Amino acid sequence: MSKNLLLLSSSREGQTEYLEHALPIIDDFLSKDIKEVLFIPYAGFAMGYDAYEEKVNLPLQTIGKKVVSIHRFDDPVKAVQQADAVAIGGGNTFHLLKELYDNELIDAIRQRVAEGMPYMGWSAGSNVAGLTICTTNDMPIVEPRSFKALALVNFQINPHYTDYQPPNHNGETRAERLFEYVRANPHRYVVGTREGTALQLKDNHLTLVGEKLGLVFRDGEKTRPIKCNTDISWLL
Amino acid sequence: MSKNLLLLSSSREGQTEYLEHALPIIDDFLSKDIKEVLFIPYAGFAMGYDAYEEKVNLPLQTIGKKVVSIHRFDDPVKAVQQADAVAIGGGNTFHLLKELYDNELIDAIRQRVAEGMPYMGWSAGSNVAGLTICTTNDMPIVEPRSFKALALVNFQINPHYTDYQPPNHNGETRAERLFEYVRANPHRYVVGTREGTALQLKDNHLTLVGEKLGLVFRDGEKTRPIKCNTDISWLL
């Protein structure tokens, strides 16, 4: 089976409502017969899992989809094994990955995705689809068992990619951080996706969906732009 | 012996030159008889350790101090044991902590600091002085053996603290990230220090040096401002 992945950079684009920009993309990605999606809220622990589930259902119901959060199941591994599709929401990537490990979900999700089950994520939920969480933008508020992530694709993802640098602030730019990553990890590719865009893998074709250029970083190479809606399966 | 710590938020303040704002603070912190400081450049691996050492020496020589980088010593543990003072520079906190572990320097530094040896750091070098690196702003480009850091103070440090939020960008504010940290780690204090300020521990008195308010975060409590140049030893 070929994998079905939708990896959104962010839950919002500019001033739009929560998941608003993503609805047509999700509607196109999930086939009509999928009505219920298993939702993994671990990244959003601070708001509470009930509240997070509701927050996601509000927009998704407008396209006839419903999420049920994994915290409602006694056996999370079984919930993944029986799901029609899985969605992992944004929040803190470290907390998300820690909970994925602590609930023994890494192998379970990998296996279902290999069997063709649709996987969608945004922000932290896209980050963990990469090889490791080494290119997250999040604060390491808890320590996961390992930085190794779901590895649903063979590269690193940097969601919320931006060129912006706050005035009068002396931190690194995002590009500088990613250059440090590839310097420390010379054989890895990093794909930076800007807010509003998504990586989509369908029928063995990888594309960037949206309107803003993506970026590919690799040690010793010039940064390559990725155009939207063209095949970038060479990254797989 | 009491500890001697100078934990600078940043190497620069606004548009000033590298370490420029820090020179009078460092000059006041290090006693006149200390001429040579052992420099630990591991956070700045991307620029190369020779270059980093030179970059630090340029400003420090104007106050009669010289740093020698630890990469010039065959035995880094012995270098720490024999140093008059240690300085840890900024860069990537994860790379720094990984190298501190890989070179077996955690215990060596802790022991010398407990004996009274002056320790100074900026940015990543201040971060690792806290209990863990869980409140770093850096990207986790490499995986250290543990998030546990030098624990030279009994709280968490967030250097480069800022209230700024980029326009039209949907990441969390710094305060939101730190609230998530304390939510996940309820008994911990976090001290946010703004660029240009430094935490200083001398004669068993902890103060914030500089001109900008610091902030203390703890789960379930209102954020408390910290005034500069007043005793905040209750945090120890």
B138-193: per-residue pLDDT in tens?
999 999 999 999 999 999 999 999 988 777 666 778 999 999 999 999 999 999 99
Mutate to test the interface with A, among B139, B174, B212 (most CBs of A within 10 A): B139
Q: Average pLDDT for residues A35-39, to the nearest whole number?
A: 98
Mark yes or no for CB contact B170/A146 under 8 Å.
Answer: no
Average pLDDT over all residues of chain B: 96
Give the residue among B183, B114, B171, B104 at the shortest CA–CA distance from A164: B171
Over residues A77-134, the pLDDT tens digits come to 999 999 999 999 999 999 999 999 999 999 999 999 999 999 999 999 999 999 999 9
Asked if residue B148 lies in contact with residue B132, where contact means CB atoms within 8 angstroms, the answer is yes
* Per-residue pLDDT, B145: 98
CA end-to-end span of chain B: 15
Per DSSP (E only), the strands in B24-172 are 36-40, 66-69, 86-88, 119-122, 156-161
Instruction: Name every chain B residue with its beta carbon within 8 A of the beta carbon of A160.
Output: 169-171
ipTM score assigned to the predicted complex: 0.94
Check: CB of residue A108 under 8 Å from CB of residue A73.
no
Kindly tell me if the per-residue pLDDT of A167 is higher than 80: no
Give strand pairing partners of A40. A88
CB B214 within 8 A of CB B234: no
Q: Where are the beta strands (DSSP E) in B70-209?
A: 86-88, 119-122, 156-161, 190-194, 198-202, 205-209
- Supply the pLDDT for residue B106: 98
> Do A10 and B136 lie within an 8 Å CB cutoff?
no
Nearest to A51 by CA among A89, A86, A5: A89
Q: How far apart are the C-alpha atoms of A92 and B172, rounded to whole Å?
A: 10
Question: B5-235 — its CATH code?
Answer: 3.40.50.880
Asked if A170 lies within 8 A of B147 by C-beta distance, the reply is no
Which residues of chain B lie closer than 8 angstroms to A15, CB-CB?
Answer: 168
**What percent of chain A lies above the pLDDT cut of 90?**
94
Residue B123 among the catalytic residues: yes
Secondary structure of A93-150 in HEC code, one letter for each residue = HHHHHHHHHHCCCHHHHHHHHHCCCCEEEECHHHHCCCCECCCCCCCCCCCCCCCECC
Q: What is the pLDDT of residue A166?
A: 72
Chain B residues within 8 A of A12 when measuring between CB atoms: 170
A146/B contact by beta carbon, under 8 A: yes
Q: Shortest Cα distance from A74 to chain B (angstroms)?
A: 23
**Tokens for A39?**
């939702």
Residues of A in contact with B92 (CB under 8 A): 180
Buried residues in A75-114 as b, exposed as e (16+ CB within 10 A): ebeebbeebebbbbbbbbbbbbbbbbeebebbebbeebbe
- Which residue in B50, B138, B146, B233 is the catalytic one? B138
